[in-house]
A and B are shown apart, each in its own frame.
Chain A
Amino acid sequence: MEKTIELINTRIRDGNARAVRADQMPDIVDELGVAGALREVDVVTTGTFGAMCSSGAFFNFGHSDPPIRMEKVWMNDVEAYAGIAAVDAYLGATQKSETQGISYGGAHVLEDLVAGNSVRLRAQSKGTDCYPRKTLEIDLTLEDMNQATMVNPRNSYQSYVAAANTTDRTLYTYMGTLLPNAGNVSYSGAGCLSPIPNDPGLRIIGSGVPIFLCGAEGMIIGEGTQASPGNGFATLMTTGNMNDMSTDFLRAATFKGYNSTLYVGLGVPIPVLDEDVVRRTAVRDEDLKTTIADYGVPSRDRPTLREVTYAELKCGHVEMDGEEVKTSSLSSYKKALEVADELKSWVESGKMELALPTRRINTEKTSRPMRDRARAPQVRDIMNTSLVTISEDEDIRTAAKRLLRGGTNHLPVLDGANRLVGIVTTFDISKAVASNGKGETVKDIMTKRVVYTSPAEAVDVATHKLERNNISALPVVDESGKLVGILSAIDLSKLFERGWKQ
């Protein structure tokens, strides 16, 4: 047996369509069998509610008199991109306020507008013959605009990597607060309730398909940016009219130490056309795998700590290295259920009819990393290799002389086996002298917990270490543990002198 989309839409119009939430589908299929479920269920509704940084909206503000060609535009001091046409702009969710920083971003402007609040629009222009006006400042609400069209370039991830942190300090990331020493695991996504896991082959989900977007009837434009369905990371580009949206399903957020972002509620109704759709929508959290990656490694390719299913993540704790580690979700499963329930009521009350894709998404495609023509500068490119060192048993006066002669402020300290065991600075020696010599040897006054870098580390990462620890030099240690150089603030200036080229 097969059902056509026309039959399902007729049932929707007649108020006879039976819709169920995706999380309830596995049990229905267990009870009725695949053929039975196909007979009974017309539509499976999915839902997700999570942080979608790749969100924003196009606005058309209408023309003022005299008219202006807006070259630069701010909404509540958050800059929008105005390089489009005279009075159009795109406001991105992660753009931060020029006065309030990340605590108020584009996402907050969008939420304010949907809540019915007015927003201060500020615009600048150089003035032209056809658009003479140079500045404009006005309060506008959503109703005052011709269009406020949300466009999410990348939304509704098929699945997302969960995050942990094996370093010894707390990290503040787009995956939330990550406690040191893998103290917690943070994940995102609604698992078996999420849209794409219910149609991983992207048969039903594609261009032109109607969806629930932040409370409005929206639409899938097509594949999302960075979509990688070929390895299980499909994404969608979506759109919807902000006038029909509700703050129940659109919320601004700020991740401490990271940025502002937008929480978006999205659901796709899946017409149950045949047994293949039934089998796909019967997916369980136990079947959906992702990985836990180490966000302590500030690199594009973060090491995987373990594989995990959404069932494990959702249960509240996972095992890592023999220890039970708490998990928490950045997306709201409760809200995701509300999205799917709302969509179900739309279908059953005849409010929303369904459509098949006008164009299918390429399921083979995988996204590529940036083709790095210009390699980011590494520590080895600018480090100082003429090393002045000292051994831990030397007298501090010897250390002082060596600092003076070497013209440096930092002396890496080596043990008998030439391993780095500490660092002594001019400050340490001054302090020792000023406090009337409580120590006699380098060992007594050196800093033992040395922050160091490696030759292959990106200069940006090493600079971040300098800033964070409020220090001015990092010993450079290679893979075998050998000291090969030192990177000081002075070396960093080489980047500017040369103008970095490969």
Chain B
Amino acid sequence: MKLLVTFSKKGGKQPLIAQTVKDTGVLINVERAFIDSNEGEVLIDIPDKDTKVICDAMEKAGARVKQMEDSVIRDESECVNCGACISVCPQDVLSFDETWTLCVDGSKCVLCGKCVDACPHQALSLLP
């Protein structure tokens, strides 16, 4: 399960991730981190079974947590199933099924946005 963890400036000074790992014993994989003067945003990956434990721990520490399940939004009226997005994705989020229809596995997405840029039909967007 991927979680998007957002925290305020104050939260950025706390060792949020390290503390959560220490308290819960769950191994957290940080996939992306973005921290500026007002806010921080970290995308983490954890085992599905630990989702609740981690969400609770993070929220208790003052962070907001969003479960990322359908991160990539595909506009079916625009998509022509060309597959231009498939090879630019570093996480194998996009693939063809046996009928050459594009399949999106948003649970693997790290929100890099490469597919959004690569789509010739502007059919892909990321979860706002």
Chain A residues near B (Cβ < 8 Å): 49-51, 103, 172, 176-177, 179, 184-186, 251, 253-256, 261, 263, 316, 325-335, 337
A332 and B82 in contact, given A177-B114, A177-B117 (Cβ under 8 angstroms): yes
Count how many pairs of residues, one from A and one from B, have CB atoms less than 8 Å apart in the complex.
73
Q: Please, which residues of chain A bring their CB within 8 A of the CB of B86?
A: 316, 326-328
Interface flag for B12 (CB, 8 Å): no
Chain B: interface size category = 20 to 34
**Would you list the 5 A-B pairs with minimal beta carbon distance, nearest first?**
A328-B87, A184-B87, A253-B120, A334-B100, A326-B87
Contact check, B87 vs A332: say whether CB atoms are below 8 A apart. no
Q: Please, which residues of chain B bring their CB within 8 A of the CB of A333?
A: 81, 83, 100
A49 and B120 in contact, given A186-B87, A333-B100, A334-B101 (Cβ under 8 angstroms): no
Contact check, B81 vs A177: say whether CB atoms are below 8 A apart. no
- Which has the most chain A C-beta neighbours within 10 Å: B84, B101, B117? B84
Contact check, B120 vs A254: say whether CB atoms are below 8 A apart. yes
Q: Please, which residues of chain A bring their CB within 8 A of the CB of B88?
A: 176-177, 179, 184, 328
Partner of B80, one of A49, A177, A254: A49
Partner of A328, one of B84, B101, B121: B84
Partner of A251, one of B83, B95, B114, B121: B121
Q: Which of B100-114 contact A (CB under 8 A)?
A: 100-101, 114
Q: Please, which residues of chain A bring their CB within 8 A of the CB of B100?
A: 332-334, 337
Q: Please, which residues of chain A bring their CB within 8 A of the CB of B82?
A: 50, 263, 329-332, 335
Contact check, B87 vs A327: say whether CB atoms are below 8 A apart. yes
Chain B residues near A (Cβ < 8 Å): 80-88, 95-96, 99-101, 114, 117-118, 120-122
Contact check, A176 vs B121: say whether CB atoms are below 8 A apart. no
A251 and B80 in contact, given A261-B120, A316-B96 (Cβ under 8 angstroms): yes
Contact check, A329 vs B80: say whether CB atoms are below 8 A apart. no
Q: Which residue of B lies closest to A248 (CB)?
A: B80
List 11 A-B pairs, Cβ < 8 Å. Answer: A51-B120, A176-B84, A176-B120, A177-B114, A179-B87, A326-B86, A327-B86, A333-B81, A334-B99, A335-B82, A337-B100
- With A316-B86, A334-B81 given, name 14 new contacts (CB 8 A): A51-B120, A103-B122, A176-B120, A177-B84, A179-B87, A179-B88, A256-B118, A261-B120, A263-B82, A326-B87, A328-B84, A332-B82, A332-B83, A337-B100
Partner of B122, one of A254, A330, A335: A254
- Which has the most chain A C-beta neighbours within 10 Å: B81, B87, B95? B87
Give min CB distance, B51 to chain A, whole Å: 30
Contact check, B84 vs A329: say whether CB atoms are below 8 A apart. yes
Within the assembled complex, what's the spacing in Å between the Cα atoms of A424 and B86? 42
- Which has the most chain B C-beta neighbours within 10 Å: A172, A184, A330, A331? A184
Q: Which residue of B lies closest to A335 (CB)?
A: B80
Contact check, B120 vs A186: say whether CB atoms are below 8 A apart. no
Within the assembled complex, what's the spacing in Å between the Cα atoms of A90 and B125? 34
